[in-house]
Amino acid sequence: MTLFIIFFFIFGLIVGSFLNVVIIRHNTNRSLGGRSGCMVCQKKLGWYELIPVFSFLFLKGRCKGCQTKISIQYPLVELTTGIIFSLLFVKFQNLFQINPFSFYLTFIFYAVAFSLLLMIAVYDLRHKIISDKLILIFSILTFLGLFSFSMHGFYIHLPMLWQFLAGILLALPFALLWLVSRGAWMGLGDAKLALGLGWLLGLAQGLSGLVLAFWTGALVGIVLLIFSKKYSMKTEIPFAPFLVLGAIIAFFFGLNFFMLNI
């Protein structure tokens, strides 16, 4: 099992490297194909500069050509994806032993879902906007997942009514905040993200993830106000990363703060 965990971690590192490419080139005129290069000097990167995490460490976080600092985003996204993929294997390892086919389908579904969430969070951090394209893909995926996946693996079924409503109930408070404040308190993108999170996690874990998101968001906001002069009460702080963090923790730890049986 240790070897499998290592395998999925390395697989996640590789996927994370691709996610970085998508994040950087999303909504630009650049295609996802072609060799990567330095954003400053345009130097094409060699194979030894493209090894996830290790290249960043080997190059000491700087471009070999112009010595420009390489964003810490690259190794962090790669490491996070690797950790998520290995945790997915651990979470579904019993299914792996019982029904490998169901395991691989389930793993692919959740791996794609959390990869999309990671891209949404990092893109929001970079640009302070939630990508409609990524949200649409995520929402469609999680809606289809209602008919095909559960914590027990892959099986085709008709979802219960409360499973449909989970996404709507999680999105509704954000939509109301957006409507009442006319976008000043909360962006509509957060409501769209909560919709997909409800379909992915269900109502119990979805609500628990929201609680964690608000707790961590408030804590980080207070810390920034106290220790950073760049932030004030009027500073806009992206909320999608906190929603994604809360969802990840709630999913892998099976949180149910409200003791709901749905």
Q: What is the pLDDT of residues 103-162, one digit of tens each?
A: 999 999 999 999 999 999 999 999 999 999 999 999 999 999 999 988 778 988 899 999
If pLDDT is split at 50, 70 and 90, which confidence band does 202 have? very high
Over range 4-21, report the average pLDDT: 96
CA 222 to chain centre: 24
Assign 69 to helix, strand or coil: strand
Q: How confident is the model at residue 151, as a pLDDT? A: 74
Q: Which residues contact 93 (CB under 8 A, 6 or more apart)?
A: 1, 4
Cα angle at 62 between 61 and 65, to 5 degrees? Answer: 155
Q: How confident is the model at residue 234, as a pLDDT? A: 73
Q: Which residues contact 132 (CB under 8 A, 6 or more apart)?
A: 189, 192
Q: Which residues contact 126 (CB under 8 A, 6 or more apart)?
A: 23, 73
Whether residue 143 contacts residue 192, with contact meaning beta carbons closer than 8 Å, is answered with no
Over range 91-102, report the average pLDDT: 93
Whether residue 50 contacts residue 58, with contact meaning beta carbons closer than 8 Å, is answered with no
**DSSP code of 228?**
-
Single-letter residue type at 59:
L
| Annotated domain spans of the chain | 1-91, 101-262
Q: How confident is the model at residue 231, as a pLDDT? A: 77
Nearest residue to 257 via CA among 221, 218, 222, 215: 215
Assign 121 to helix, strand or coil: helix
CA 142 to chain centre: 13
Q: Is residue 186 over pLDDT 90?
A: no
Over range 210-223, report the average pLDDT: 93
Give the pair of three-digit tokens for residue 192: 């769209």
Q: How confident is the model at residue 262, as a pLDDT? A: 67
Q: Is residue 34 over pLDDT 90?
A: no
pTM exceeding the 0.75 threshold for the entire prediction: yes
Q: What is the mean pLDDT of the chain?
A: 91
Q: Which of 78-87, 127-136, 207-216, 232-241 has the lowest mean pLDDT?
A: 232-241
